[in-house]
Structure formats: structure tokens, C-alpha cells
A and B are shown apart, each in its own frame.
Chain A
Amino acid sequence: MARVAREMVEKAGINVDQLVELLVKNAAAELTTYYYYTILRCNLIGLEGEGIKEIAEAARIEDRNHFEAIVPRIYELGGKLPEDMKIFHDMSACPPAKLPEDPTNVKEILKVLVEAERCAVRGYTHICNMTSGKDHRTYDLALAILNEEIEHESWFSEFLGEGPSGHFMRRGETSPFVSKFLK
């Protein structure tokens, strides 16, 4: 634990235990999403599916990066990950992004993807609101992740006919916002 770092956050008026629990739940959401997106990506096939596969893959890899970036902050603040992976899965901040009943229905897969991203956008907005001006490091991390989650939502929502998002798919490396936490 980074004792003084935790003290500073406590002194700023944040309930650190609650914040750590939120971070663990969001770490669980990222890792489980990485897993479920693997299955979704495998099922994005055919004329409709292939066009979405690449962005699903970018979102999948970035969600794994988010997990990697959150974990050190949990331990810095005196928290830890559950020892049991099943408990970790079930405490996720977002519902499992499971393959729809009809795995050939690309629109249904897109709905799962966009709902997962929207849950993440809400979750990191919540953490940003909670830590803004109080816990600079967690805020910086949550904001970086939020930037990427908003882009993921934008990519998928365009395919659902919700209008243009103004975003393009990734060019070059993944996680342009979060990569600074992974070095």
C-alpha cells in the first residue's frame, strides 16, 4: 500500500474503502468484458459481422488494458483483488456481455457491445465525479479509461443506426489515453 497516497485521498474527504470497492468492481467488469468480447468477436462473421470484427477486437484489447491499468491503483490504495475468480466475476460493475441467443444475429451482438460500453461510460463518469479535485491519480486514470470507453460506445452505436459519432476506428496502437499507465 502507498500509505501517504491513501492518506491524502482520505484527507480530501473520500471514503477510500468505497472507492477501492468501486475500482475492484470496475476491474472485474473490464476483465470479464475482455473474456465475453472474445466470444462475441469470434461470432462476428459473414458479410455483416466481418465489418465489425476489427473494432470489437480493438475494444476487447483496450478493455484488457483497462484492467491492467486499474489493478495497481487498487493495491496502492490498500485494496486487493479477490482470490477467487468466480467471486471476481460476480462482483462486476457491469452485467456479463454474453453472446445473444441467436449468435448469427449481428444486430443483437451489437446491442450487447453497446450496452457494455454504456455501462462502462456510466461507471467511469461516476468515479470521475467522485474523485475530481480530490484524488488526482484515480481521477486521471478513470478519465483516461472514460475517454476510450466513450470512443468504443461511439464505434458501436454508429452501426446501430444511431447517427454519426464523429469518430474513426483506431489507427496505430491501441489505448491512446490509457497507455501512459501501462508503461
Chain B
Amino acid sequence: MKEFTEKELAEYNGKNGKPAYIAYKGKVFDVSSSFLWKNGKHQVLHEAGADLTAALQQAPHGEDVFKKFPIVGILRKKETRNV
């Protein structure tokens, strides 16, 4: 499965014909087919190409909404080094 860095994920912002991908709990979903993600924007406040794990906690829906979207990869977070 493809691994995305945050920078790579940001490319899939749903604008100018690009696919709209969003990350949730380490998984990357393709939400391009969703009416609610037209032009990479969701309910005014959320943009595609980003990790929305934290944002979902404030949302008026649960993670079950992702069930209908294909998983296209996993999100590789920046490595943190121990000092």
C-alpha cells in the first residue's frame, strides 16, 4: 500500500481536477466521489489533502462515514527523534 508523507498528501487537495484524499488515524481515504467533498472542500471548514484525525472529534458524525470510501494508502508521520 502506498505510503504518503504529509507533503505528498497535501498534493491531493481535490482542486483543479486533482483527487481529494484525506487521512484519518493513519489511513488515507479517497473521498473524490463524495458530493460533500466537491472541489476538495467539506462543509466550508475542512480541506482535502490533510490529516483530519483531530478535526473529526469536533464533527457532527463518527468515523463510520469513511466506510464508503476506498483506502488508497497510509500516512507516514514525521519521525520524532529521541534526544
- Number of A-B residue pairs, CB cutoff 8 Å, is 28
Q: How distant is A114 from chain B, measured CB to nearest CB, in Å?
A: 14
Residues of B within 8 A of A18 (CB): 44-45
Interface 1/0s, chain A 105-149, versus B by CB < 8 A?
A: 000000000000000011101100100000000000000000000
Tell me the complex Cα distance, A95–B44, Å: 15
Q: Is the interface of A mostly helix, strand, loop or mixed?
A: helix
Residue of A nearest to B61 (CB): A122
Given contact pairs A21-B44, A22-B43, A126 touches B38 in the complex (Cβ within 8 A): no
Residue of A nearest to B65 (CB): A122
Q: How distant is B63 from chain A, measured CB to nearest CB, in Å?
A: 14
- Taking residues whose C-beta sits less than 8 angstroms from the other chain, chain B's interface range is 10 to 19
Q: How distant is B11 from chain A, measured CB to nearest CB, in Å?
A: 25
Given contact pairs A90-B38, A95-B35, A122 touches B45 in the complex (Cβ within 8 A): no
B35 touches A126 (CB 8 A): no
Q: Does A60 contact B (CB under 8 A)?
A: no
Residue of B nearest to A20 (CB): B44
B44 touches A129 (CB 8 A): no
- Taking residues whose C-beta sits less than 8 angstroms from the other chain, chain A's interface range is 10 to 19
Residues of B within 8 A of A74 (CB): none
Residues of B within 8 A of A125 (CB): 60
Given contact pairs A122-B61, A125-B60, A96 touches B43 in the complex (Cβ within 8 A): no
Q: How distant is A18 from chain B, measured CB to nearest CB, in Å?
A: 5
Residue of B nearest to A21 (CB): B44
Tell me the complex Cα distance, A22–B54, Å: 21
Show 21 A/B contacts (Cβ-Cβ < 8 Å), sorted by A. Answer: A18-B44, A18-B45, A21-B44, A22-B43, A25-B43, A25-B44, A90-B38, A93-B36, A93-B43, A94-B35, A94-B36, A95-B36, A121-B60, A122-B60, A123-B43, A123-B60, A125-B60, A126-B43, A126-B59, A126-B60, A129-B60
Q: Which B residues lie at the A interface, using CB under 8 A? A: 35-36, 38, 43-45, 58-61
> Which 10 pairs across A and B sit closest by C-beta, in order of nearness?
A95-B35, A122-B60, A125-B60, A21-B44, A126-B60, A22-B44, A18-B44, A122-B61, A18-B45, A126-B43
